[in-house]
Amino acid sequence: MSSRREILDLLRENARYTTEDIARLTDFSESEVAEIIEEFEEAGVIRGYQAVVDWNAVETDEERVRATVELNVTLDRETSYDDISDRIAKFPEVTSLRLVSGDYDFDLEVEGDSMREVSHFISDKIAPIPEITQTVTHYIMESYKEQGMEFDDHDDDDRLSVSP
Amino acid sequence: MTLEPATRVDSVPPSGIRRFFELAEEMDDIISLGVGEPDFSAPWAAREAAIASLERGQTSYTANRGKRELRERIADYEAATHGLQYDPDEEILVTAGASEGLDLAFRALLNPGDTVAIAQPCYVSYVPGATFAGVDVVDVPTRAEDEFKLTRDVLESAGAADADALVYCYPNNPTGATMTGDEIAEVAAFCRENDLVVFADEIYADLTYEHDHTSIASLPGMRERTVVFNGFSKAFAMTGFRLGYAMAPPEAIEAMNRIHQYSMLSAPTTAQYAAIEALDNCREEVTEMTAQYDRRRKYVLTRFDEMGIDCFPAAGAFYAFPECPWDDADEFAEALLQEKRVAVVPGSAFGAGGTGHLRVSYATGLSDLKEAMARIESFIE
């Protein structure tokens, strides 16, 4: 019997599967699938649906610059990680923000139209936040895999077309 | 003396799949549901173990029976997954694919003139393998109304009681049929009563979706009369590595090894390193691939149902075996290929009992599978 979790797996695999597709791939009926997805959305389990884009393959002059930034912070009695993350996450330039273990505290991802824009954002908006003691910015030079998808040329199916 | 085929070769026709393969190979842009192997590549960890073994220069022969480390892991794996107890030293032989194992069993354990009952439709090598060994074949056609399971009635009607051996494969290629423990027990009872040995091809044992696989060798009184064949091709998606194994009591393995040591010497060494890694660290990939097959299976069965094509709920391997909408399945398959560029294999290519059906493999990515099913739907309209 299929589980509700399986619907999440399928949407993570391809968010464009229709409810009809998902019903055919599981033991749920189409209306059950629609209902479960709605419940996931309302409960905040599913937060959104996005395309995985290989910007290098986009034929346009527009540049998309991304960087990951290591942030070190100091906490005091009045300031928690959540207080700091609230302030940072509000910026639209910030595409992801995670608290991590190890040498630094926050792992930040920033996106902009140019290196200049991203650099200014870090120096003007992030670095001046009083609790932040250090930033280390890494510009992303090449992306090989995003959200589970490899960015290589599609492997041709080299199996024999008919085999026993 | 001229270089002409020997009579025992001449008497075996080329595989019925061959003609279809040639037709399909000439065409571009076909979507093939005619493939009898996984669309996944072998798990990366297994591939990397193969590469690492090459880098270390481990390129020599192994023991005839295969590396002991591998045989130990096979013994553990079969004990854990199918409740089988085989001694890695005396009762396991690593072969170049399960197919080699079957060929060895025909030649090492049967005499020319012996009779083997072969449950059909079946993998294309069983009948030729028996014929090459000079063994007579009794066709045992399973029936659509039994969902292509092997039953006592089917065995009796075919005259299998007089045979010396029985060969079958469940979960089945080409039908996707599976058999429950109770159903296998009925076959086991028949074999004990009529004193048949059993060659059980269990290559698809881990690809079941409705109930767990039962190995006939795990049933009372069967271990001593059974050779079990399995391998890494299907569940671990390692077809090109050519690695399988046979499990049987010591005398049988000794006899099979007698041929193997002269004809094969040992199974491919690189593949053996990959297989060790597969058993140690790739079970999760197998679970994930199995989940994918199961979704596709549901998709295909639902689509056939929507199209009004009669198809029993195949619960194993990666095949569905629908009834052909036309009387002549060969003609249908050829027309579907020519007009809609979708390859399926007519059931007749797999022997008795397959006529009037089509083997549809769902070892194909979902987007291709969706497109292929849409084309079949438009073709039959």
Residue-wise pLDDT for B341-374, tens only, equals: 999 999 999 999 999 999 999 999 999 999 999 9
pLDDT per position in chain A (164 positions), as tens? Answer: 789 999 999 999 999 999 999 999 999 999 999 999 999 999 999 999 999 998 888 887 777 899 999 999 999 999 999 999 999 999 999 999 999 999 999 999 999 999 999 999 999 999 999 999 999 999 999 999 998 898 887 667 889 999 99
Res B297: pLDDT: 98
Residue closest to B198 by CA, chosen among B207, B206, B190, B208 = B190
Give the per-residue pLDDT at A59.
Answer: 80
Q: How far apart are CA B82 and CA B76, in angstroms?
A: 10
SS3 A79: strand
Q: Write out pLDDT tens, residues B145-170.
A: 999 999 999 999 999 999 999 999 99
What sections of A14-161 are H helices per DSSP?
19-25, 30-42, 81-89, 115-121
Residue A156's pLDDT is what?
75
Those residues with Cβ within 8 angstroms of residue B179's Cβ, 6 or more apart along the chain or in another chain: B149, B150, B170, B187, B214
Own/partner pairs for B55-62, CB < 8 Å, 24+ apart? Answer: B58/B269, B58/B270, B58/B273, B59/B269, B59/B270, B60/B269, B61/B265, B61/B266, B61/B269, B62/B94, B62/B266, B62/B267, B62/B269, B62/B272
The secondary structure of residue A125, as a DSSP letter, is I
The pTM of this model reads: 0.92
- Among left, alpha and beta (phi > 0; psi -120 to 50; other), residue B367 is alpha
pLDDT in tens, B238-285: 999 999 999 999 999 999 999 999 999 999 999 999 999 999 999 999
The reported pLDDT for the residue numbered A122 is: 97
- The Cα–Cα gap between A128 and B56 comes to 53
Q: How many CA within 13 A on the CB side of residue B45?
A: 13
Phi first, then psi: what are they for B136, rounded to 5°?
-80, 145
Residue carrying the six token digits 């595409």: A95
Residues from chain A that touch B24, judged by Cβ atoms under 8 A, are: 161-162
Residue A157: per-residue pLDDT: 83
The distance of A92 to chain B (nearest Cα, Å) reads 35
Residue whose tokens read 């029936």: B143
Contact B199, B227 (CB under 8 A): yes
Is B357 in contact with B347 (CB distance < 8 Å)?
yes
Note whether B351 and B142 are within 8 A (CB).
no
- pLDDT tens for B77-115 read 999 999 999 999 999 999 999 999 999 999 999 999 999
Residues of A near B (Cβ–Cβ under 8 Å) read: 6, 9-10, 14, 21, 23-27, 155, 157, 159-164
C-alpha closest to that of A32 among A54, A73, A2: A2
pLDDT at B231: 98
Cα distances from B77 to residues B48, B80, B84, B268, B292, in angstroms, run 21, 5, 9, 20, 22
- Alpha-carbon Rg of chain A, whole angstroms? 21
Confirm if B243 and B231 have CB atoms less than 8 A apart.
yes
> Which DSSP state fits A153?
P
The average pLDDT across B7-34 equals 89
Neighbouring residues of A94: CB distance < 8 A, sequence distance ≥ 6: A88, A108, A109, A110
A160–B21: do the CB atoms touch at under 8 Å? yes
User: How close does chain B come to A9, measured CA to CA in Å?
Assistant: 11
Predicted pLDDT at A158: 86
Contacts of B80 (CB under 8 A, 6+ apart): none
The pLDDT score that the predictor gives to residue B326 is 96
- CA torsion sign for B212, B213, B217, B220 is positive
Contacts of B39 in chain A (CB under 8 A): 157, 159
CB-CB neighbors (< 8 A) of B296 in chain A: 25
Please say whether the dihedral angle defined by the alpha carbons of residues B156, B158, B164 and B170, taken in this order, is positive or negative. Answer: negative
What ipTM was predicted for this assembly?
A: 0.85
Residue B188 has pLDDT above 90, yes or no: yes
Mean pLDDT of B70-82: 98
